[in-house]
Structure 1
Amino acid sequence: MKVCIYGAGAIGAHIGVLMKLAGVDVSLIARGAHLAAIRENGLTLEIGGETKIARMPASDNPSDLGPQDYVIIALKSHQAWETAEQVKPLLGPETVVVTAQNGIPWWYFYGFEGQYANLQLESVDPGGRQWKAIGPERVVGCTVYPAAEIVSPGVVRHIYGDRYGLGEPTRKVTPRVKRLADAFEAGGLKPSIYPEIRNDIWLKLWGNLCFNPISALTHATLDVVATDTGTRAVARQMMEEAEIVARRIGVHFRVNIERRINGAASVGAHRTSMLQDLEKGRALELDALLTVVQEIGRLVEAPTPTIDVVLALAQQMGRVAGVYPTFPEVVLDDDRAVAVH
């Protein structure tokens, strides 16, 4: 079983090192100083008081690695869009592409029936780049719950969590998703196969769409955002709006808003990924977390006033800091989003 981790950053390292040490044939796509360190010293994962080092093929050129059984895209959503065509040398006739990103994925409406069948979302896949280059029929969805960070080139520190959600867009529990789950389990990870992965995608998104931008705007840690009276109220309003949008396209939530907010508060003084990106001058992942909810909201005629305000503020903050837009700028008209190139 050949697995390529496309993006050997924090989450990519968490998956890749543990799979490799469990005997899976793993290779990596990385770049820069991180790639150089991996080639020289292997990829290091600091986890549970231990230091695990795995040596495996690593390159910045997918053509060096050739077709794979599975390609796990462990990039931010905007990075995955930018590099969609570069994935092609890794794809054979039966290659499965695993989208391990936060937010609503580009393939979301693949497998739907009725008016939304195969609808392409401009806010997360302008011009249908990933839809055309990869193809939704290859995809297995993946929700990511662990947190990790790169502490130096070639070295990643695991912070918490080992759960991953896996599921087919077609709502079938297939041999290929079972085989993938087995590879996760072999590495000591805890995958759950969901017949409807979209429910888990929205459950994860439910927190990210409010906690990430609020923390970036206020520079507050997760525990503060989730417990301060004012920011907790804003988060709740955003989640209520998102819930209405999601339910109109068939999503079911297995927990309520209060439990989701309290769960975030219990994580403690964690700096969200968006706050970390802002502080380090990296592009903000706003479109897959907020703009897409705004786009779907207009599609299903569900107003998103609080989300609209927070998104506008976060976008302006990002533009001033030089870290947004990450896609070609998206302008929403009265019907849906269109990309302006």
Structure 2
Amino acid sequence: MRICVYGAGAIGGYLAAKLARSGQDVSVVARGAHLEAIRKDGLVLREKDGEVRVRLEASDDPLALQPADYVIVALKAHQVTAAVPGIRHLCGAEGAVVTAANGVPWWYTYALGGPFESLRIEAVDPGGAIWDGIGPDRAIGCVVWPAAEIAAPGIIQHIASERFDLGEPQGDRSERVVRLSKAMIAAGLKAPVRPRLRDDIWTKLWGNCCFNPVSALTGATLEQIATDPGLRALCRRMMSEAEMVGEAMGARFLLDIDKRIDAAGATGAHKTSMLQDLERGRPLEIDALVTAVIEMADMAEIPCPNLRSVHALIASKARLLGLHP
């Protein structure tokens, strides 16, 4: 099969290197110094048991690459709208689009059932440009659990976890999602096909919607948030509100809130992605992680005072720093 990874940053680069190493035909869309390094010296992946270097086709112009069976979109949510024409070209007539990103995916309400079926979520898909431009029927969901970083241009450092949960919005084990799962497993990844992927989306979003903005506001690591009584209590209240929203949107929560906080704290002195972006002067992923949750709360008429207050603070801070529109 042919696979294109659109956005070969830390997670996209990790996926591309693992899949290419296993023999898949992989291309990547990258940019800047990272792209130049990949073109010159290949893509390097460093893991605890060693280092591999793979040669693959790379471009900053998706229209210059051949269409693929799977387009793995590893961009941040706020980058996807501008990339729609390129993604549409890359998936060709029958290719699938794999949404490997944090937060609420743009296709979330597709095949959801109930009163919120097919409602567009403006926070992650302004004007419905992604939904209309790509089509939710092409989407395969992907919950990203690994931690990785770009150690230097062209070099990906894997930190922890190899798990990517996959699932169709309808919840079925389609031929295309099973085929992708097998390819990822053959590449040394954990890639189960999940019948209720929205549950997994919310399991991760549950933490992201509170840990990320709280860390960016305070500078605290996950360990510090989990052990500071005031911050832990705030996150607990935010997660309780998010749980009500998720359940209204059809998700099930099978984990206790305190266990979820403890699991995050167990990662140690780890900075959330939003805190890292803040420190590096990069745009913050507020909309996919927090704004979308509040938008869904509005749909379900759930108050969420703690989520709304923290959202107002982080959105204001980001705008003042020029890191959020």
Partner of 2:196: 196
Q: Cα RMSD between the aligned structures? A: 0.9
Counterpart for residue 307 of structure 2: 307
The whole-number CA distance in structure 1 between the counterparts of 2:48 and 2:298 is 45
CA shift for structure 1 position 258: 1.1
SS state at 1:188 partner: coil
Tell me, in whole angstroms, the C-alpha distance in 2 between the residues paired with 1:5 and 1:113: 30
- CA distance in 1 between counterparts of 2:270 and 2:112 reads 36
Per the TM alignment, residue 303 of structure 1 is displaced from its structure 2 partner at its CA by: 0.9
Deviations 1:230-265 (A, max 9, x none): 100010000000001111122101211111001001
- Please state how far the C-alpha of 1:48 moved relative to its aligned partner: 1.1
Match of 1:233 in 2: 233
- Quote the residue 2:127 is aligned against: 127
2:287 maps to amino acid: D
- 1:338 alignment counterpart: none
Q: Which residue of 2 aligns with 1:329?
A: none
Match of 2:207 in 1: 207
Alpha-carbon offset, residue 323 of structure 1: 0.3
Deviations 1:255-295 (A, max 9, x none): 11111001001010001100000000100000011111111
Corresponding residue for residue 256 of structure 2:
256
Letter in 1 for 2:12: G
1:54 maps to which residue? Answer: 54
Q: Which residue in the other structure is 2:180 paired with?
A: 180
CA distance in 1 between counterparts of 2:207 and 2:156 reads: 24
Tell me what 1:320 maps to.
320
Q: Name the CA distance, whole Å, in 2 between partners of 1:272 and 1:83.
A: 25
Paired with 1:95 and 1:10, the residues of 2 have a C-alpha distance of: 24
Aligned-partner SS, 1:80: helix
Question: 2: distance between equivalents of 1:237 and 1:19?
Answer: 40
TM-score, normalising length: structure 1:
0.94
Q: Is 1:157–2:137 an aligned residue pair? A: no
Number of matched pairs? 325
Q: Secondary structure at the match of 2:95?
A: strand
Counterpart position of 1:330: none
Runs (4+) of structure 1 exceeding 6 A deviation are none
2:191 counterpart SS class: strand
CA distance in 2, matches of 1:47, 1:217: 32
User: How many Å apart are 1:94 and its aligned residue?
Assistant: 1.3
Unaligned runs of 5+ in 2: none
Question: What's the CA shift for 1:86?
Answer: 2.2
Q: Percent same amino acid at aligned positions?
A: 50
CA distance in 1, matches of 2:250, 2:97: 24
Q: Distance in 1 between matches of 2:196 and 2:92?
A: 26
State the shift of 1:112 in Å. 2.2
Q: Which residue of 1 aligns with 2:89?
A: 89
Residue type at the aligned position of 1:86: G
